[in-house]
Amino acid sequence: MKIHILGICGTFMGGIAFLARERGHAVEGSDSAAWPPMSEILEQAGIPVHGGYDAAHLEPAPDRVVIGNALSRGNPAVECTLDRGLAYQSGPAWLAEHILDGRCVVAIAGTHGKTTTASMTAWALERCGLDPGYLIGGAPGFGERSARIGTGSPFVVEADEYDTAFFDKRAKVVHYHPRVLLLNNLEYDHADIYPDLEAIATQLHHAVRTVPGNGRVLINGDDPHLPALVARGCWSRLERIGFGADNDWRIVPDDAGAVLLHQGVALGPLQPPQPGRHNLANAAAAVAAAAGAGADPATALEAVNTFPGVRRRLELRGRVGGVEVIDDFAHHPSAVAATLEALATPGRRLLAVLEPRSNTMRLGIHREQLAEALDRADLAFVLAPPDLPWSIPDALAPLGERLHTASSVEELTRLALAEARPGDCLVVMSNGAFGGIHQRLLSGLETGGAPA
C-alpha cells in the first residue's frame, strides 16, 4: 500500500511513518516544516518528504492519505484529498487499525509527563524482555526513532488529549482502546480547543470507558482532579500511584531518593537518574504501567533506575566556562515550577529562559500563575514577542529586578549571556525550537559572553 502522510514532520505523525514503513508500506509525506532533523531522519529511513502542501504531491494518487491534526480545511492537500475522493483517515485511527489491533496497549495520558513516562515504560518493558512496540511523542534516549513495532504483546503509546483531526474532534487517546490506561495528572491546557477542565476530563473519561474489565486504570492518587474523573465510572481494576499513604503504589522519599512500595510491601529503591519529585512520580507510574502489561515489578523498578532519559526533558545541551545549558520542554506553569524545583541546588544560581509559545500560554490563560512558577529562579529571562496579546512585564511584575524581557531571541540571548557566570545553570524552557537559543547561548559562552 502507498501511504501519503500530511504533517509528516510532527513527532507523532513521523512515528506513524516509521511504523508504516516497518510494516512494509511505501510511505511518503508532506509538511510545511520539512526541515532537519526530522526530515533527515525520515529520509534516512527511506521515507521521502515534500516541502509544503502542494496538491501535486498527491500524484500519482496514494492508496491512503493519513492526515495530521495540524491541518484544516483550506489546506491545498486536504482540499485535493476531498475533491478527488481519496481514502483518508487520521493518524490515531490508522495506528489503531493497523498496529494496535491484538496488542496489549499501554496508553500513557495526562497533562504532564506523558513523553517521559511513556519512554520509561517502554524502557522497563524492554529490560524485562517483553520487546514492546511504542510510539512516543519525543526522542527517547534508548532508540534512534520515536516509534517501532516490536515483537512482543505490549505496545506503549503516548496518548495525547489533543484533538485527532479536523474531521474528528475526539481526543487521540479515545482511539487506542488500551488494556492499561495511565492518567498521570489533569490540569487545564489546550485552551485553543477545550473551553475548560471539565471538557478535557470528559474526553479522558471516554478513554476510561474503553478499558476492559480485566484491564487496569492507573491514576495519580495525589492529583486533585482525577478522583472525580474515575468516580464517573470505572469498570476495570483501579490502582493509585503517588506519595500519599493511601496509594497502592506509594513513593516514600528518603536521603537516597525514594523507596517504592506496592500494597505496603517495599519493592526497592526508586532512584531514576533524572532529578525532581515529578520524575519520581513518572518513574513509579512507569513501573505500575509495565507491571500492568505483564512485567515483573521489581525488574521494572531496576530498569527505571537506569533510564537514559529523553531529549528536551532536562537535557544537558552543553557546559561552557562552568555554565550549564539545560533544555526542557516545560510550557505550562506547573511544568515550569517542577523543572526549576528539580534543578534547584544550594549554592548554584538558576537562570530560567522561557518562551511563552504554547497556544494556551499565548492566550494568557495561565499568566497569573507564571510569576509563582518562576519564583525558584534567581533570574528569569522571558521572551515577550510583540504580537502577544497580554503583557509579560505586567504579569511577571512580582519577580521585580529578577525579571528580564526582550522582544527577540537575539536580545534575550544577549541579556542572559550578560548575566551568566561560572557555576550557573541556564535552563531553557519551550515546546518549540525557540529560535535556536540553546546553541546561541553555548556559542556566546564559548566566545566569552554577550555578543556585540
DSSP of 242-273: ESSTT-SEEEEEETTEEEEEETTEEEEE---S
Write down which residue in 37, 67, 91 finishes a domain. 91
What residues contact 311, with CB distance under 8 A and at least 6 apart?
A: 138, 139, 140, 141, 327
Q: Are residues 144 and 281 in the same domain?
A: yes
Number of structural domains (the chain) is 3
Q: Are residues 53 and 113 in the same domain?
A: no
Is residue 239 one of the residues assigned to a domain?
Answer: yes
Q: Are residues 296 and 320 in the same domain?
A: no
Contact (CB, 8 A) for 52 and 32: yes
Which pTM does this prediction carry? 0.86
Q: Would you state the cell numbers that stand for residue 266, as one nine-digit string? A: 517495599
Contact (CB, 8 A) for 150 and 160: no
Strand order of the β-sheet with 379-383 is: 315-320, 323-328, 425-429, 350-354, 379-383, 403-406
Is residue 33 one of the residues assigned to a domain?
Answer: yes
Helix (H, G, I), strand (E, B) or coil at 219: strand
Nearest to 419 by CA among 440, 386, 445: 445
Q: Are residues 157 and 214 in the same domain?
A: yes
Helix (H, G, I), strand (E, B) or coil at 96: helix
Nearest to 125 by CA among 260, 299, 305: 299
Predicted pLDDT at 34: 67
Contact (CB, 8 A) for 229 and 173: no
Q: Are residues 85 and 143 in the same domain?
A: no
Distance of alpha carbon 209 from alpha carbon 230, whole angstroms: 10
Length in residues, the chain: 452
Give the Cβ contact number of residue 385 at 10 Å.
14
Predicted pLDDT at 451: 43
In 138-231, which residue ranges form alpha helices assigned H by DSSP? 197-208, 226-231
Is residue 186 one of the residues assigned to a domain?
Answer: yes
- Looking up cell 549571556, which residue turns up? 417
- Looking up cell 504531491, which residue turns up? 57
Is residue 30 one of the residues assigned to a domain?
Answer: yes
Q: Along the 452 residues of the chain, how does pLDDT read in single tens digits?
A: 999 999 999 889 999 999 999 999 999 999 997 665 677 778 888 899 999 999 999 999 999 999 999 999 999 999 999 999 999 999 999 999 999 999 999 999 998 888 999 999 999 999 999 999 999 987 787 877 889 999 999 999 999 888 999 999 999 999 999 999 999 989 877 777 888 889 999 999 999 999 999 999 999 999 999 999 999 999 999 999 999 999 999 999 998 889 999 999 999 999 999 888 889 999 999 999 999 999 999 999 999 999 988 888 888 888 998 999 989 887 788 888 888 987 888 889 999 998 888 777 777 777 888 888 898 899 999 998 888 888 888 888 999 999 999 899 999 999 999 999 999 999 898 988 888 898 899 998 988 754 43
Is residue 97 one of the residues assigned to a domain?
Answer: no
Predicted pLDDT at 391: 87
Q: Are residues 272 and 376 in the same domain?
A: no
Predicted pLDDT at 400: 92
Q: For the stretch 261-284, what's the b/e string if a residue is b when 16 or more beta carbons lie within 10 angstroms of its beta carbon? A: bbeeeebeebbbebbbebbbbbbb
Predicted pLDDT at 452: 36
Q: Would you state the cell numbers that stand for residue 37, as one nine-digit string? A: 532533523
DSSP 146: S
Q: Are residues 276 and 326 in the same domain?
A: no
Write down which residue in 66, 91, 116 finishes a domain. 91
Q: Are residues 287 and 226 in the same domain?
A: yes
How far is CA 388 from each of CA 308, 353, 360, 369, rounded to the nearest angstrom?
37, 17, 12, 17
Phi-psi category of residue 448: left, alpha or beta, with phi > 0 → left and psi -120 to 50 → alpha = left
Write down which residue in 45, 66, 91 finishes a domain. 91
Nearest to 336 by CA among 311, 354, 318, 312: 354
In what helix (H) or strand (E) does residue 31 lie, and over which residues does it extend? strand 26-31
Q: Are residues 62 and 129 in the same domain?
A: no
Is residue 451 one of the residues assigned to a domain?
Answer: no
Is residue 452 one of the residues assigned to a domain?
Answer: no
**Within the chain, how many helices (H) and strands (E) appear?**
15, 23
Nearest to 167 by CA among 92, 108, 109, 101: 92
Predicted pLDDT at 341: 86
Domain boundaries, position 139: 102-304
Q: Are residues 123 and 35 in the same domain?
A: no
Q: Are residues 332 and 431 in the same domain?
A: yes
Is residue 255 one of the residues assigned to a domain?
Answer: yes
Q: Are residues 393 and 328 in the same domain?
A: yes
Supply the CATH number for residue 41's domain: 3.40.50.720
Distance of alpha carbon 415 from alpha carbon 406, whole angstroms: 8
Give the Cβ contact number of residue 230 at 10 Å.
17
Supply the CATH number for residue 292's domain: 3.40.1190.10
Supply the CATH number for residue 393's domain: 3.90.190.20
